[in-house]
Chain A
């Protein structure tokens, strides 16, 4: 009994309550805990939402500027231009061009850049860091070009703003570099989706043109972002398809031959259209005047045309709608089409920034309509509807110019929502794409993308090492940390493994959540066990100089989400960690590696 007295009674242990709390909290958190993919999806959605808000803001701003210029609230630029006296139609685009030029000159970087054509949809992601100042200035410049009647697309700055948002969100969330690039791409996808009310095309545009990949790691977040952007936009400006087309009915097999021919025509004319744009650009760049003068001159050319044909002003939306409704006679359309190409060349050539997408759609629809009208004139084919040809022409010309046939097919379907057109559309787009590709290697965006550095980054990807995609400062514990603290650390983190360091900060091994899960509520173990008692030493590691192939080799034998990266000096110090998702992202963008492995 004397012995009994020596045994101290069990005290009410504060550890007990603490461990019990963790016991409840941790499995719940583990269950609710977002994985890398979910976090990326969430951020992609956020980018979609904010990008769409930015796009809406730009729309509102352009309306205000348009009012200031034309004193008319009509949403349609062409219409408000049509109501102006002829001399104002000449002056306003010139003045708008001059202001846009001044804004561009505000950043010194643009002064150095002689060759200024800037198709803003052609986002170059680079390392994912997009300058907000430049994006805003470019968008402001585009705002003046567009609102003053320049023949340029509004979608360009919408994409630019959304991209800026994507980069900002990624940097605030401190995501890794491959993931930051992905969020920037999500921004572009949101921008296109918001501009055209076309979520699938938005994602496809980025996948086909900007990134050149369809891997699901990338495509999933792109889709998510564009869906959120579309929903956000619809809340404010309604969810109708962008272009209302009368239902055209099904296509007979004999008509398909006509559509196939149209595809050929678009494929032939597209390189010509691109060459015209390029020639205008080189003509302007030979002229050694300051940017303000050049852009004012570009505006003046548009203005002079607009004095007689205000239809050439703006991105071409209303003209396109007119074509799709069959409002014009073919002679009238032919003239407007040619003048529109001249106006677009003048605007872009003079150095205005903006989108080339809608002008391209208009040119395609014009070509299609004229082709349809021509066939209509023959007695044997008089039953065909030129409007159907306008639609297919739009898609075929877009496919040939952007070199993104899948995006073009889906885009036309999404902006018209007429499923009957899908067969001739697919046919026309693919034929036009192959025709254009056999004539010229370059699409409308290839040069812009190259000039802006996409290919440089691709070659950098080829040399990519673990150090480039690793995330620094992973969560760690000291090897003498008590069990209770280890549990709390797990509860506050999103990882399955905690890295254990010794007193010299060298990597010892990991603690696996799986190992300790059952003992989380154990107050007896709280102080009794320390980190080193439960550390797994034989854990795979990487060095900063390792190649991506080594990363995959490690992940193929390890089911965790992350692998620690140790110092290249051999000191055993922990430098960071590489996540499987980041490695896959980097890999998905690296086509030459894919082909080498397959």
Chain B
């Protein structure tokens, strides 16, 4: 399926299993090395800025332990997804539930279809409590991605 092809775009090197930041900004910064090495990202700092801008206009926190900070931007040349896991959880806003999984997504402006399909697929998979549990327990990036793709 087309959607799964897109998801396999998440490389093990783009999975950070131990985020240590205690705020959205700090967590985002932990992706710096991933973003700088990924060929899909042309301008890392612009991607970060636009993701933060987008987050300010409306939170991407689903309220179920997952957030999808994202931006449609020319700073990426193709769909880019990176994942970060925080065992302690990060509070976006004082009242919200802590976020454990960060999916950082960048997409070229014209690729609305693939962007929506990626968001939709990820969100529906992460809706399942069992998947969330397994993801929190995954030991390696490979295992994490296998669970995400429904291989276990």
Chain A residues with a Cβ under 8 A of chain B: 3-4, 6-10, 479-480, 482, 512, 515-516, 518-519, 522, 524-525, 527-530, 532-534, 536-538
Contacts and interface: CB of A to CB of B under 8 A. Distances in A.
Nearest to B124: A524
A528 B117 contact: no
A522 B98 contact: no
Contact of A530 (B57, B110, B117, B136): B57
Interface in B126-142: 127, 129, 132-133, 136-137
Contact of A8 (B65, B110, B117, B137): B65
21 contacts: A3-B87, A3-B136, A3-B137, A6-B100, A7-B65, A7-B100, A9-B129, A480-B58, A518-B120, A519-B117, A519-B120, A522-B123, A524-B62, A525-B116, A527-B62, A528-B123, A532-B57, A534-B115, A534-B116, A536-B112, A538-B110
A4 B112 contact: no
Contacts of B68: 528
Contacts of B97: 8
Given A480-B58, A528-B62, 15 more contacts: A3-B136, A4-B136, A6-B100, A7-B132, A515-B112, A518-B120, A522-B120, A524-B124, A525-B116, A525-B123, A528-B68, A530-B57, A530-B58, A532-B54, A537-B109
Contacts of B116: 515-516, 518-519, 525, 529, 534
Interface in B21-62: 54, 57-58, 60, 62
B147 interface: no
A496 B112 CA distance: 16
Contacts of A516: 116
B64 interface: yes
Given A480-B58, A519-B116, A4 B123 contact: no
Contacts of A6: 65, 89, 98, 100
Interface centre among B58, B63, B137 (most CB of A within 10 A): B58
Nearest to B87: A3
B57 A525 contact: no
B10 interface: no
A515 B110 CA distance: 11
A518 B133 CA distance: 28
Nearest to A509: B109
Shortest beta-carbon contacts, A-B, top 3: A524-B123, A7-B65, A515-B112
Contacts of B70: 533
Contacts of B136: 3-4, 7
Interface residues of B, number: 33
B42 to A, nearest CB: 18
B111 to A, nearest CB: 10
Interface centre among A512, A516, A528, A536 (most CB of B within 10 A): A528
A4 B133 CA distance: 6
Contact of A534 (B58, B112, B123): B112
B143 interface: no
Nearest to A516: B116
A77 to B, nearest CB: 70
A534 B112 CA distance: 6
A529 B64 contact: no
Contacts of A530: 57-58
Contacts of B150: none
A107 to B, nearest CB: 58
B112 A8 contact: no
A483 B143 CA distance: 32
A7 B133 CA distance: 8
Contacts of B64: 7-8, 10
Contacts of B65: 6-8
A521 to B, nearest CB: 10
Interface in B59-79: 60, 62-65, 68, 70, 72
Contacts of B132: 7
Contacts of A524: 62, 119-120, 123-124, 127
A444 to B, nearest CB: 60
Nearest to B97: A8
Contact of A7 (B57, B58, B124, B129): B129
Given A3-B100, A533-B70, A534-B112, A10 B119 contact: no
A85 B62 CA distance: 94
Contacts of A4: 133, 136
Nearest to B132: A7
A514 to B, nearest CB: 9
B124 A10 contact: no
A482 B62 CA distance: 13
B72 A533 contact: yes
B49 to A, nearest CB: 15
Contacts of A525: 116, 119-120, 123
A10 B126 CA distance: 10
Interface centre among A8, A479, A480, A482 (most CB of B within 10 A): A8
A482 B58 contact: yes
Given A6-B65, A515-B116, A524-B120, A480 B127 contact: no
Contact of A522 (B62, B113, B124, B137): B124
Contacts of A538: 110
A529 B119 contact: yes
Nearest to A529: B119
A487 to B, nearest CB: 12
Nearest to B101: A7
Contact of B60 (A7, A480, A528): A528
